[in-house]
Amino acid sequence: MLDTNLSKNVHRLTDRQCSLQGRTGRVLVVDDRESSAHALVALLVSAGLEARFALGGIAAIDLLSYWTPHVVLLDIGMEEHDGFAIASIIRGMHALKDIFIVAVTGFAELELRGRGPMEHFDGYYQKGNDGAVLVELIHQMLR
């Protein structure tokens, strides 16, 4: 875990960065609960980011075929295809190899690590924490 001065429940897992060079950061929210997806998109847009959502992993893969975000906020506990499987698919898509993937989950990090591989993720956000800290995490990645 990298020390990012955020919180134990919201932090970076890699030190990769992307320079936006004046462009607006683009974020894709992937969640199978529409209300959660809408809430995160509203938060991100209010922070000056361009944000879209996909309801589930298959919809996300479809959207990623024609729209490339800088960051994907990926719910881990989706029923049809969990976030670990979708993260693996995204990392296997050559055109998307440089995007950031943040695990979004209700699980504590230690419990999450016991549920699946974390090597495809650049960040971790535990649901229920202050959304401003999530926005700061995204801004740290996109400096």
Residue 24 DSSP symbol: P
The pTM is what? 0.91
Q: What is the pLDDT of residues 61-112, one digit of tens each?
A: 999 999 999 999 999 989 889 999 999 999 999 999 899 999 999 887 777 7
Q: CATH classification of 28-141, choosing from 3.40.50.2300, 1.25.10.10, 3.40.50.300, 3.30.470.20?
A: 3.40.50.2300
pLDDT at 8: 75
Q: In the Cβ-directed half-sphere of 8, how many Cα atoms lie within 13 Å?
A: 4
Q: In the Cβ-directed half-sphere of 110, how many Cα atoms lie within 13 Å?
A: 1
pLDDT at 2: 44
